[in-house]
Structure 1
C-alpha cells in the first residue's frame, strides 16, 4: 500500500469525523495540537490522528491538506498553509462563497499548491449514506482527494468544472436547509407571542412533518450550531450578490443565528429557549 500522509486543519466536530474516514481508509492523518482546546485534542485522539509539532512540520509531511473550519476562518487558515511552504493539494472544504474561493486561490497563485474546492453536506459522517463531499477543480487533484475516502462513510462526489462549483452547490443547499430553521424559529416566535405555539406545532406535525417547525427537538439542534451558521449565512449573502440574487433571506437568518451565539456546542438548549430569545433578546427567557 502506498503511504498517504494527509493533514487536517482543524479537527472540530466535522473535521475530526472527516479525518477519521481517511484514517479508516489507510491514510496517516496529521494535525497541529498547538493552541487547540482540550476538546479538540480529545476528538483528534479518538479519530486516530498524529500530532505534528507545528504547521511547518505538517506542511512538509503531507501531500494533501484538508481545511475544515468555520467559514470565517477559511481565508486565514489557507494563508497560514501558504506561508508554511506547503507543496501539494490543498482542499478547502468550508462553507464559503465562490468569491471567497477565488480569494483563497489567489494565495496559491504561484502554482506550488493545487487548490481543490470542497463542499460537505450532511452531518459529521457516522452512518453510511448521510454525508457527501463534493469536489471541483483540477481533475487529477480531485481524483486523488476522492480516493482518500473511497469505501468510507464520507461519500466523495467529483464535479466537472473549476474551483467554485462545489462551494456554490454547498451554499445553495445550505440556503434552503439552514434558513428553514430560522424561518421555523420566526414562525414559532410569532405563534408564541399570540399563545398558539402548541397549536402551530400540532398543525405542522400534520401539514409539514419532519420539519423544524413540526419538531421542537429538530429546531433546538440549531442552537449549538448557530455560531457556525451565522458566518455561513454571510457567505451565502455574498454568493447571492455575486449571482445577482437578493440576499435578504440570508442576512436575516444571520441575525437570527447571531442571537443564539451563547449556546455554542450546548446540547441542553431547548426550542422554547431559542424562541424566547428570538422574541426577547439573547439571554432572555421570557419567564419560561
Structure 2
C-alpha cells in the first residue's frame, strides 16, 4: 500500500477514475471542488477524494500533483499550480503535443517541480487490462508515479527517454483512433447525400466490421466526446507539423468535431443527428 498525499486537477470522468486508482493503492487524494458541478462533487465524495480549500492548500499537502484536464486547459492548469510555489512531481497526463509538454515543463520547473510526462490510453479505468498510463521524463519522478499506480486498474508503462515521448505516443494513437470517427462520419454524410447510407453501412459491415463506419452506435459515441476531441486534434496538427508532416488531417477532424460540440456529454445523440449536423440540416432532410 502507498501512503502518500496526491492532488488531482481536475477530476472529470477520466480524472476521477484515475484518482480512484490512487485511492485504492492507499494514497490520500486531494481535489478542488470550487466551481465544479454537483455531479462532480458527488462523484468525488463517492470515490473518497478529499476537498482542498484552494490550489495553495492542495499543493502544500501533496508531493505529487496529477493534471487530467482538456488539452486546451493543460498549460493554464500548470500555471495555476506553479503560482503556488509547488516543487514536487507534476504529472501532466493530458493529450498535448511534445512542444506543449516542453512549455509545461518550463512553467512547473520555475519553482523546482519535476515534470513527469504522461499519456493515458483507453477508457476510464474500471477493469484490468483496458487502460494504460505511459510515462517519460525524469527517472526518479517516473518511478514514483509508477509505484503509485502499480497493481491498480491503471497500468503504468515507463518509456525510456526524455519528457515528450509519452505525449507523442498518446497523440500518435489518438490520431489514428479518433480521426477514424471523423472520417467515418464524412463518408456517411456523403452516402446520405446520395441516398446510399444504408448500403454503405451494409458494405462496411461486410468488409470492415467493428469500425465506426459499420456501426451507427459506435459512430454516435463520438458525439458526447467531441468537445474534448476537437482541441486534441489541434494538438495533433501541431505535433505533426513540428515533425515535418502535413497537419490537414487533424485540422479537418477538428472542424468535424467542432460541429458536434452542442452534444457534450449527451449519451442519447444518434449517428443520424451527427451526420445531419455535418450536412447542416435536420435528420432525414433532403436537398
Distance verdict in 2 for CA 1:204–1:2, change over 3 Å:
closer
Task: Flag as ranges the 4+ runs of structure 1 deviating above 4 A.
Answer: none
Which residue does 2:81 correspond to in 1?
81
Which residue does 1:110 correspond to in 2?
110
* Equivalent residues of 1:12, 1:43 under 8 A apart: no
- Shift in Å, 1:109: 3.5
Which residue does 1:130 correspond to in 2?
130
- For 2:147 and 2:283, locate their aligned partners in 1 and report how far apart those are by CA, in whole Å: 49
- Shift in Å, 1:111: 5.5
Mapped pair 1:169 → 2:199: no
Aligned-pair RMSD on alpha carbons?
A: 1.2
* Equivalent residues of 1:241, 1:247 under 8 A apart: yes
Which residue does 1:191 correspond to in 2?
191
Mapped pair 1:38 → 2:38: yes
Point out where structure 1 has 5 or more consecutive residues left out of the alignment. none
- For 1:109 and 1:280, locate their aligned partners in 2 and report how far apart those are by CA, in whole Å: 46
- For 1:2 and 1:136, locate their aligned partners in 2 and report how far apart those are by CA, in whole Å: 21
* Equivalent residues of 1:280, 1:286 under 8 A apart: no
Which residue does 1:58 correspond to in 2?
58
Which residue does 2:243 correspond to in 1?
243
- For 2:52 and 2:111, locate their aligned partners in 1 and report how far apart those are by CA, in whole Å: 25
State the SS of the aligned residue for 1:245. coil
- For 1:85 and 1:199, locate their aligned partners in 2 and report how far apart those are by CA, in whole Å: 60
TM-score when normalising by structure 2: 0.97
- For 1:236 and 1:272, locate their aligned partners in 2 and report how far apart those are by CA, in whole Å: 27
More deviation, 94-103/35-44: 35-44
- For 1:234 and 1:121, locate their aligned partners in 2 and report how far apart those are by CA, in whole Å: 18
- For 1:241 and 1:51, locate their aligned partners in 2 and report how far apart those are by CA, in whole Å: 41
- Shift in Å, 1:42: 1.8
State the SS of the aligned residue for 2:134. strand
- For 2:150 and 2:203, locate their aligned partners in 1 and report how far apart those are by CA, in whole Å: 43
TM-score when normalising by structure 1: 0.97
- Shift in Å, 1:249: 0.2
Aligned residues: 286
